Amino acid sequence: MLTQRTSRKPIGQPLLSLIGRTPLLSLAHLERETPGVTLLAKAEWFNPGGSVKDRAAASIIHEAEARGLIHTGVTLLDATSGNTGIAYAMISAAKGYRLRLCIPTNANPQVLSLLRAYGAELTLTDPMQGSDGAIREARRLARSHSGEFLYLDQYNNPANWQAHYDTTAVEIWEQTKRAVTHFVAGLGTTGTFTGTSRRLQVFNPTLRAIAVQPAGGLHGLEGLKHLDSAIVPGIYDPQLPDETVFVSTEEAYDVLQRLTNEEGVLVGPSSGAALAASLRVAKTLSATRTPAVIVMIFPDSGHRYLREGLFGSSHDRVLSS
């Protein structure tokens, strides 16, 4: 006797539910030069928008929704240098929101292409003013068209750092089985460092929070800010870092090459800065025979930066048969 099969609709996951719960990578080959110190990296390019900024963007938009600030006729507005803009654009496309982004004219061409693909409206700003110029333009638009735009203001919005307090830090604590002793992250909007450090220091008051900045105002570390020469984000607490490590563009690029060649991990320049700082800290700890577990943030992959020739350009060689 034949029985009729019950028709079931396949169950999938909503795109935005994939934000967070990123893996923690072991950097076992690099660890060999720092005995006693474990090096781990949070692989944030596993987020659906390709970077750590998915967390903050989702939190900021969710908070605006909860407060009833997003309605028909309003356009979301913010300044960006890249990854947060992509996160905003992805989320806005998924939710059907209009989005205007202020971004420097000389931003990464791949980023600009992605933003346009998602349907974001772009206001291109003076390349000589960098991300600060984009911030000033977003503020001007918000003031002069207050009824048209909802200014999300990632640099001053507490929902930015709160995203990492609620998710990133908890994941790191659980993934390291409560063993993390040092946390390392670059400063851009400062949300990742601020939120993660605050929560990890609740879990472990002896944890050392190490901030990473470019060595100077003119640098090639996309996504990072040299705070002494830039608009300092309102969400940044200068008392929070136990140590600040300044990394040159050249040093960051050099360790990026090592990471790719020795670990097979391809990441962006801000990840290189975090790794360079972590290696410095690790060598000091190893030399003093201080056991440690260092967790660093790798904000995005290196695929968006291949056009800049960061990888392999100084190591190319012709092999004869």
Please give the pLDDT value at position 6. Answer: 54
* Residue among 305, 304, 303, 298 nearest 44 (CA): 298
Pair type for strands 75-79 and 37-43: unpaired
Helix, strand or coil, per DSSP, at residue 220: coil
User: Is it true that 15-50+161-308 and 53-151 share their CATH fold?
Assistant: yes
CB 301 within 8 A of CB 44: no
Query: Which CATH number, 3.40.50.1100, 3.40.50.10490, 2.40.50.140, 2.60.290.11, labels domain 53-151?
Result: 3.40.50.1100
- Which candidate in 42, 51, 53, 301 is catalytic? 53
Which residues does the chain have with pLDDT short of 70? 1-7, 307-321
Determine whether 63 is exposed, middle or buried from the number of CB atoms within 10 Å of its CB (0-12, 13-18, 19+).
middle
Q: How many CB atoms lie within 10 A of CB 128?
A: 9
What is the Cα–Cα distance from 320 to 122, expressed in whole angstroms?
48
Q: What CATH code would you report for 15-50+161-308?
A: 3.40.50.1100
Q: Is 270 noted as a catalytic residue in this protein?
A: yes
- Which candidate in 92, 270, 278, 301 is catalytic? 270
Please give the pLDDT value at position 11. Answer: 82
Structure token pair of residue 47: 């987020």
- Taking each helix axis from N to C terminus, what angle separates 83-95 and 53-66, rounded to the nearest 10 degrees? 50
What is the Cα–Cα distance from 98 to 88, expressed in whole angstroms?
10
Please give the pLDDT value at position 321. Answer: 33
Please give the pLDDT value at position 317. Answer: 35
Q: Where are the alpha helices (DSSP H) in the chain?
A: 28-31, 53-66, 83-95, 109-117, 130-144, 158-163, 169-175, 191-203, 249-263, 269-287
Using a cut of 0.95, tell me whether the model's pTM lies above it: no
Q: Where are the domains of the chain?
A: 15-50+161-308, 53-151
